[in-house]
Amino acid sequence: MNTMSKSKNTAKEKHAQAYSVHIPKNIQIEWGRLFTKQLYGIGKDILHKENLLLQYGFTRKRPSNSSEGSSQYSFVDKTYKIILWGFGMMCATKNDGLFLGRHAFEPKLLKVNSLSPNIWEPDQISHGMLPKTTEETLLMLRLLKSIKFLENYENRVLEMCGESYRTESLQGMHSHGVHHIRLDKKWSELSEKFEKISSEMMSHVNCMSLDNGEKM
């Protein structure tokens, strides 16, 4: 491998881990495990006789050819737009979006106006960028506030179908079954952790701004 290739790889690795300075590895791992379970459960909810995503208020768009990729489910509230696919989720405001893949915490920031309204495969949003700066990480954390939706969604599922339904719907993930888990409570706990990180970062940024102002 030549020097230029090594340099590119080093830069790529550095950028790939930039947000990890602020998001502890254990939280990233927790996200990956929890979100994988969540999307698996949502897949079962779609197969429910009443399609629980549609019952919650999502709209569905399907590719013209079923072999083209995953259906796209969208939900809009006062602040965010949530889009779900079998391969991940995007939370977006009017201008900014954050894509999160199914199996690992690898956040990608996107400009909403750069996206096609018809996305069926992960390759169609491969141009997203990993958060590298403090500002980008804070934007990521602001967009992550939308995961409150996942807590609210799970609460609705529990109200409609009961805890036994969700436990049973997750059984197929592992050959030996799955321990009882309350996804709504897990999302609430994780949301609080992200909120704490965001508050600490903002306090640090504000202190730095004050220090710089005093030095001027």
The predicted pLDDT at position 22 comes to 83
pLDDT digits (tens, 9 = 90+) for 63-102: 887 667 889 999 998 889 999 999 999 999 989 999 999 9
Average pLDDT over residues 170-199: 84
Which residues neighbour 115 within 8 Å (Cβ) at sequence distance 6 or greater?
Answer: 97, 125
Min mean pLDDT across 13-22, 130-139, 161-170 is at 13-22
pLDDT digits (tens, 9 = 90+) for 4-40: 444 444 444 444 456 777 889 999 999 999 999 999 9
* Residue of 149, 150, 94, 102 whose CA lies nearest to 125: 102
Average pLDDT over residues 127-154: 91
Predicted confidence (pLDDT) at residue 43 exceeds the cutoff of 60: yes
Question: Do 186 and 34 meet the contact criterion of CB atoms below 8 Å apart?
Answer: yes
The predicted pLDDT at position 27 comes to 94
